[in-house]
Amino acid sequence: MASGGVSPEISAETRYGKLRDLTFHYGPGAELTTPALGRFYKRNGHKGKIQPDDRCFWLSDAEGNIIAAARISEYPEQGYALLRGVWVDKNLRGNGLGKQLMTSVLTLHSGSPQGLYCLSYSASRDFYTGLGFTRCTQDECPEPLYRRWRNYHQRGNPTHLMQLRQR
């Protein structure tokens, strides 16, 4: 996966009108981006923490405001990567921004030798299915990831363990 960068500007039509000059960014959970991403997640109700080694991706508007974000935690020694924190600004949800973000994220990840997995809540399962993820069984995923999924369930966080199939 590339080490960091910015894509050409794009636009999106939303129920609030046209968002112009959206920019796709990516890079490590670096000191300069982590505070802004952390504030975005907190403002929109996400409780996860950005780790320094996370690969971070986000869309920003013309004013530089983050409007959608995602992270990938890589575990190369265990042969997998975990998609985390896919989040869209609460005022802009339902406008295709998550799909737009994830299309770019998956394009960048496509060169990675690691399998990509996610732990999806029921409400977002169809979203991930539309991106090419399918539910996987214990036998189809790395053991450490299965243990993580099982721990989520034991703590009362029902999720679906999903794997990105080759596109």
Q: What percent of the chain has pLDDT over 70?
A: 83
- Mean pLDDT across 77-102: 92
Q: Within a 13 Å sphere around the CA of 45, how many CA atoms are in the beta-carbon half? A: 6
- 69: its two tokens: 């974000």
Q: What is the pTM of this model?
A: 0.83
Sorted by where each begins, the domain ranges of the chain are 5-164
Q: Is the pLDDT of residue 34 over 50?
A: yes
pLDDT at 29: 57
pLDDT in tens, 133-155: 999 998 999 999 999 999 988 99
9 secondary structure, DSSP code: P
The residue with greater pLDDT, 5 or 158, is: 158
Residue 93 in contact with residue 118, Cβ under 8 Å?
no
pLDDT at 2: 42
123: enclosing H helix or E strand: none
Computed over every residue of the chain, the mean pLDDT equals 83
Q: Is the pLDDT of residue 159 over 80?
A: yes
Residue with tokens 């004013």: 63
- CA–chain centroid gap for 127, Å, is 12
For residue 93, give every residue at least 6 positions away whose Cβ sits within 8 Å of its Cβ, in sequence order, or none. none
pLDDT at 16: 40
5-164 is a CATH 3.40.630.30 domain: yes
pLDDT at 5: 52
